[in-house]
Amino acid sequence: MKLYDLPGPPSPRRVRVFLAEKGVEIDIVAVNIREGAQFKPEFAAINSRLTIPALELDNGTVISETDAIQRYLEEKFPENPLFGNSPEERAVVNNWLRIIEADGFMAVAEALRNGAPRFENRALTGVRNVAQIPALGERGVNRIGYFFEDLDKQLEGRKYIAGDTFTVADINALVTVDFAGMAKQSVPDTCANIARWYADVSSRPSAQA
């Protein structure tokens, strides 16, 4: 398999941190976004959705969604499980993966891509140009605050999001908190549980990936 990667944006980082926690190395191809390689026909022939990361499987299939990439890597590298250790733990992990994605990650993406001038007509990733909606940017900022409230509550009395075990939910939430920083939104002082958890997860060597 072969991973198309890009330093900087949050989605490829989710995959790199995941691989670092697994302790495995796979073939990585760096896509040079500054030279626009992401939008050139050569890359479109690989990933028609024009998004990074993308994972090319050995059978030639290309997987474009970060969630699907993480799940495939979990299956191919089952040691150091990152999706939980029992059906019940996996249910909590999967529940929070969806909450982190819909309420956290997408809220930050809405805030950033509908607010920053450099994303004009790029309010969504992908093939089509999409105009910014300023009100959606403002709503995104509000929703980031709601997400922090909910995450703080979940972390009350829990070391990690799903309990005692560090999982991919912690990876994706860590990346989301750092992504919020790109939209100039930081964790409120009232969220002591997030502060304690963030200090822990961001000090793991994988966080540097």
Binding span for a copy of itself by CB under 8 A among 33-41, 125-133, 180-188, 196-204: 125-133
- Taking CB under 8 A as the binding criterion, the range among 15-23, 82-90, 181-189, 196-204 that sits at the site for a copy of itself is 82-90
Angle at CA of residue 49, ends 129 and 44, nearest 5°: 100
Question: Shortest distance, CB of residue 35 to a copy of itself, whole angstroms?
Answer: 27
Of 2-61, binders to a copy of itself (CB under 8 A) are: 55, 57, 59, 61
Closer by beta carbon to a copy of itself, 38 or else 114: 114
Q: Which tokens hold the place of 181? A: 């920083």
Residues 92-111 that bind a copy of itself (CB under 8 A): 92, 94-95, 97-99, 102, 106
Q: How far is the CB of 63 from a copy of itself (least distance, A)?
A: 5
What number of residues does the chain have?
A: 209
* Residue 130: both structure tokens together: 């999409």
- Candidates 81, 80, 73; CA nearest to 53 is 73
10 Å Cβ neighbour count for 155? 21
Q: Look up residue 190 and give its two tokens.
A: 């009232």
